[in-house]
């Protein structure tokens, strides 16, 4: 397992990006993710890859009875713990979810599942932690965004404009597995899975898919950052909510 958020250079760049008013988390990911949430009041919630705890704080302020956030990065958790208000944070990788004995009503995760290699084990472990009828809501990088594989493990320019219209190159969609990309630093490891692999893994572990969304930018987001309009050509993020049957 790679712990890139504890890389000094990566973390500095990431913090800088997240502190800006205009970023894809704030303008694109969080509004869609939050629109998929069930009522949190009185619920026991586990947030996977909780980062600096933004979602944990939201859950607590919405009246969740117990909120636990886990993350493999000490850097991210240190920020979270600085504004801790009754939230339990654990420095635990998602690969070790089996170490938890608690039961939860809701498991959430924003933009972290694409860092986990064994998706089958992850979903199996989440299923064990949820009560019957419990819900899993997660976002991840969209498969059309993670598919692209550069022979040199770099982020290369994978878009072209023809007659004023943008096109994105797509490759390796059905070649699931490791991708090494440059994002803030070189050598960032992510895992690509196609759509059927994601959905069928959830079904195999007894989940009923209740909603699927793909990122788009609304007019307000496009006004703030015109390049977000390109999400109509290629979405950045995939969102799934599923219920444990
Ligand atoms: C893009 S950040 C998202 C943070 C937070 N969920 C949010 O939306 O603000 C991804 C987070 O996943 C964490 N992460 C990556 N791989 C992980 C793993 N295997 N186990 C636990 N956390 C992981 C990173 O340390 C980072 O905090």
Q: Where are the chain's structural domains?
A: 4-144+192-244
- 7, 25, 51, 183: which to mutate for ligand 1, most atoms within 8 A of CB? 51
How close is the Cα of 236 to the center of ligand 1, in Å?
17
pLDDT surpasses 80 at 154: no
pLDDT reading at 155 higher than 70: no
pLDDT at 106: 98
Instruction: Write phi, then psi, for 130 (nearest 5 degrees).
Output: -90, 145
Mean pLDDT of 36-51: 98
Ligand 1: centre distance to CA 117 (Å)? 14
Protein residue whose Cα sits closest to atom 25 of ligand 1: 73
pLDDT > 90 fraction of the chain, expressed in percent and rounded: 87
What average pLDDT does range 132-157 have in this prediction?
88
Q: Which atom of ligand 1 is nearest to the CA of 73?
A: 25
The pTM for the full model equals 0.96
Judged against a pLDDT cut of 90, whether residue 149 lies above it is answered with: no
Residues 110-114 have a mean pLDDT of 98
Nearest CA to ligand 1 atom 1: 111
Dihedral over alpha carbons 139, 5, 61, 113 (to 10 degrees)? 20
Residue 75's pLDDT is: 97
Residue of 232 and 138 predicted with greater confidence: 138
Please compute the mean of the pLDDT values over residues 51-74 and round it to a whole number: 97
Average pLDDT, the chain: 94
CATH superfamily of 4-144+192-244: Vaccinia Virus protein VP39 (3.40.50.150)
Q: Is pLDDT at 159 greater than 90 in this prediction?
A: no
Ligand 1 atom closest to the Cα of residue 25 is 8
Distance CA 64, CA 242 (A): 19
Ligand 1 site, CB within 6 A: 1, 5, 49-51, 54, 71-73, 76, 93-95, 110-112, 115-116
pLDDT band at 200; cut points 50, 70, 90: very high
Write down the pLDDT at residue 50: 98
**Helix 195-204, helix 119-129: angle, nearest 10:** 40
Confidence of residue 164 (pLDDT cuts 50, 70, 90): confident
Q: How far is the CA of 163 from the centre of ligand 1 (A)?
A: 39
Closest CA to 109 of 55, 158, 42, 150: 55
CA 38 to centroid of ligand 1, rounded, Å: 22
Mean pLDDT score, 76-87: 90
pLDDT tops 90 at residue 151 = no
Residue of minimum CA distance from atom 14 in ligand 1: 49
Question: Does residue 84 register a pLDDT over 80?
Answer: no
Whether the CA torsion 65, 52, 217, 201 is positive or negative: it is negative
pLDDT the model gives residue 153: 66
CA of 61 relative to ligand 1 center, distance in Å: 21
**Mean pLDDT for the stretch of residues 117-138:** 98
């Amino acid at each position: 397992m790679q712990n890139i958020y504890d890389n000094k250079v990566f973390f500095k760049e990431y913090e800088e990006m997240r502190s800006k008013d205009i970023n894809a988390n704030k303008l694109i990911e969080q509004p869609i993710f939050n629109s998929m949430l069930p009522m949190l009041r009185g619920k026991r919630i586990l947030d996977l890859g909780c980062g600096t705890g933004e979602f944990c704080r939201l859950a607590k302020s919405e009246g969740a009875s117990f909120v636990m956030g886990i993350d493999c990065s000490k850097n991210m958790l240190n920020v979270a713990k600085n504004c801790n208000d009754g939230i339990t944070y654990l420095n635990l990788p998602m690969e070790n979810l089996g170490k938890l004995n608690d039961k939860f009503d809701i498991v959430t995760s924003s933009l972290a599942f694409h860092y986990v290699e064994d998706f089958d084990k992850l979903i199996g472990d989440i299923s064990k932690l949820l009560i019957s009828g419990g819900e899993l809501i997660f976002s991840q990088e969209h498969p059309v965004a993670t598919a692209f594989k550069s022979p040199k493990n770099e982020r290369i320019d994978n878009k072209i404009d023809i007659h004023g219209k943008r096109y994105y190159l797509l490759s390796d969609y059905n070649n699931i597995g490791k991708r090494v990309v440059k994002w803030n630093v070189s050598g960032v490891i992510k895992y690509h899975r196609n759509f059927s692999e994601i959905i069928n893994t959830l079904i195999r572990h007894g989940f009923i898919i209740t909603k699927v969304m793909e990122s788009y930018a609304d007019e307000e987001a496009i006004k703030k950052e015109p390049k977000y309009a390109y999400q109509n050509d290629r979405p950045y993020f995939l969102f799934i909510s599923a219920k444990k049957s």
